[in-house]
Structure 1
Amino acid sequence: MTCPNCGGDELVFPVPETVHEHLPDDRVGATICTHCLRVSPADEAPEDYPDFTTVSDAFPTDGETSAVLAVLLALLDRLVLHREDADRVAAVAEGRGVDVLLFLDRLAADGSIDPELDVGRRREQLEQLI
Structure 2
Amino acid sequence: MHCPDCDTRMLAFAVPADLRDYLPGEQPGAAICPRCLQLRPATDPPEAVPDFRQIDDSFPAQSAAAIPMALVVGLLSSLAIHRQEISALLERVEHAGVDPLLVVDRLSVADGVETEIDLEGRRRQLEQLL
TM range (shorter): over 0.9
Instruction: Within 5 Å, give how 1:84-103 maps onto structure 2.
Output: 84-103=84-103
Partner residue of 2:57? 57
Deviation >4 Å, runs of 4+: none
- Matches of 1:55 and 1:44 in 2, distance apart? 21
Partner residue of 2:105? 105
Residue 49 of structure 1 contacts residue 64 of structure 1 at CA under 8 Å; is this kept in 2?
no
How far off is 1:64 after superposition? 4.0
Q: Percent identity?
A: 38
Task: Please give the TM-score of this superposition, normalised by the length of structure 1.
Answer: 0.93
How far off is 1:14 after superposition? 0.8
Partner residue of 2:125? 125
- Matches of 2:112 and 2:64 in 1, distance apart? 23
Q: CA RMSD in A?
A: 1.3
What are the superposed Cα offsets for residues 22-80 of structure 1, whole Å, 9 maximum, x if unpaired?
Answer: 22212111111121111111111111201111121111121342111111112211110
Task: Please give the TM-score of this superposition, normalised by the length of structure 2.
Answer: 0.93
What are the superposed Cα offsets for residues 99-121 of structure 1, whole Å, 9 maximum, x if unpaired?
Answer: 01111001112022112311111
Aligned length: 130
